[in-house]
Structure 1
């Protein structure tokens, strides 16, 4: 398995920075899974200087971002089959106030991951959760340190979908209704929330109770309302089925929620495509067994 890896400067400045917190938590899993980490230059240099992943042959150095390192990761997410260079996803630990996180290559990396149904992991929590998902799929014993990501009964789940993705969100919720009902609370934006409630009532959920708490529609501020929950650490996981071709006037709403998630990097997990959500939920079933 091949994964792109980059981290904004803030996330490797000190020994307790986000990149190193993730590596300390997941180094054993990285080695067990034999991940190839295609790592942008400055991030690679920081890992080497910290003495982490010592002797690990799967750590590959790419050019600095200013020399095209991140652009190369974008091309490899799309796939360079003739050259045997295809990434299965990317970890990009984002500092929400670092302007490089909205450079064209950074935006393109996320967009191509969404288009191709590959994980785009921008927080420590998302990256830790993904390692555990892949460990479970590989048949490895669950890591007790990852139990908190699977404590659904104490978590709030956000279910958000752009118009073109609402049908897929409803299908996902219908397929995994019992599991999603285990969450302590579910929240959603306007129309998605209404349709999810109608689905739940059709499945026998009490008619006098909402299955999801509805906020405003995204363009009317629902994403901002859910972003506030994330910032207050009252929403631990978001399934955000994004349409990569969404009209640009909605882009600010998307970015607001994403910035909230990256602000609480150790607390919030965000999944941005149905394919990645299906892989996550399959691991949840398997881990619970």
Structure 2
């Protein structure tokens, strides 16, 4: 399995930077899985200097970002007809106030991951969660250090879908209703929330109780309201079914939510496509059975 890897300077500057927190938490899993990390130049240099992943055969250096390293990762997410240069997803630890996070290659990396149903992991929590889910898929025993990410009964889950993706969100919620109902609280933007509640009521959820707390619709500020929950660390996981093929009138609101997630990088997991969310749900159920 191969992932692209890049981190903004903030996240590899200093021994307690986000990149190193992720590696310390997941180095064992990376080695167990034999994970290949196609790593942009400065991020690779920082890992080498830290001594983490020493002698790991899967760590591969790419050019600096200014020399096209990130652009090469975009091409490899799409696929180049060479198995050894096809990525299964990307980890890009974003500094939310670094303008490079809005450069075309950074935006394209996320967009192509979403289009191709591959994980785009922009936070420490998301990257840790993905490693644990991949370990579970491989039949390995759950890592107790990852338990905090799976304490769903004390967490809030955000469920958000663009218009074209609402049917897929409803189908997903119907398929995984029991798992999603384990969360202490669910929140959603306007229309998505209403449809999710109607689904829940049809499944026997008490008619006088909302299964998902509804905020405003996205264009009316619902994304911003949920972003505030994330910033206050009152929303720990977001499933956001994005439609990458249409222009979005409320693009700034969506970016606000995405930046909120990366601001609290150790505390928020975000999944941005049905394929990734499906894989998480399957692994989460399997993990719970093995505990």
TM-score class, shorter: over 0.9
Matched with 1:184 is: 184
- Would you say the 8 A contact 1:162–1:246 is kept in 2? no
Structure 2 unaligned spans of 5+: none
Please, what is the CA RMSD of the aligned residues? 0.7
Give the whole-Å Cα distance in 1 for the aligned partners of 2:134 and 2:192.
Answer: 29
Alignment of 1:249-260 (within 5 A): 249-260=249-260
2:270 alignment partner, SS class: strand
Matched with 2:115 is: 115
- Would you say the 8 A contact 1:133–1:283 is kept in 2? yes
Matched with 1:215 is: 215
Matched with 1:52 is: 52
Matched with 1:80 is: 80
Give the whole-Å Cα distance in 2 for the aligned partners of 1:160 and 1:248.
Answer: 14
Structure 1 unaligned spans of 5+: none
Matched with 2:11 is: 11
Alignment of 1:152-231 (within 5 A): 152-231=152-231
1:16 alignment partner, SS class: coil
1:219 alignment partner, SS class: helix
Matched with 2:240 is: 240
1:243 alignment partner, SS class: coil
1:249 alignment partner, SS class: coil
TM-score (norm 2): 0.98
1:208 alignment partner, SS class: coil
1:82, distance to aligned residue in structure 2 (A): 4.1
Give the whole-Å Cα distance in 2 for the aligned partners of 1:267 and 1:93.
Answer: 13
Q: Does 1:150 align with 2:150?
A: yes
Give the whole-Å Cα distance in 2 for the aligned partners of 1:19 and 1:288.
Answer: 28
Measured against aligned partners, the alpha-carbon deviations of 1:215-240 in whole angstroms (never above 9, x if no partner) come to 00001000000000000000000000
1:174, distance to aligned residue in structure 2 (A): 0.3
1:81, distance to aligned residue in structure 2 (A): 1.2
TM-score (norm 1): 0.99
1:81 alignment partner, SS class: coil
Matched with 2:132 is: 132
2:125 alignment partner, SS class: helix
1:179, distance to aligned residue in structure 2 (A): 1.1
1:75 alignment partner, SS class: helix
Give the whole-Å Cα distance in 2 for the aligned partners of 1:75 and 1:91.
Answer: 15
- Would you say the 8 A contact 1:173–1:196 is kept in 2? yes
Measured against aligned partners, the alpha-carbon deviations of 1:124-164 in whole angstroms (never above 9, x if no partner) come to 00000000000000000100000011111000000000000
**CA pair 288-55 structure 1, distance change in 2 beyond 3 A:** same
Number of residues of Structure 1 aligned to a counterpart in Structure 2 = 289
Give the whole-Å Cα distance in 1 for the aligned partners of 2:60 and 2:70.
Answer: 13
Measured against aligned partners, the alpha-carbon deviations of 1:46-102 in whole angstroms (never above 9, x if no partner) come to 000111100111000000000000000000000011464110000000000000000
Structure 1's consecutive aligned runs of 4 or more residues displaced over 6 angstroms after TM superposition are: none
Give the whole-Å Cα distance in 1 for the aligned partners of 2:92 and 2:253.
Answer: 20
1:267 alignment partner, SS class: coil
Give the whole-Å Cα distance in 2 for the aligned partners of 1:84 and 1:8.
Answer: 25
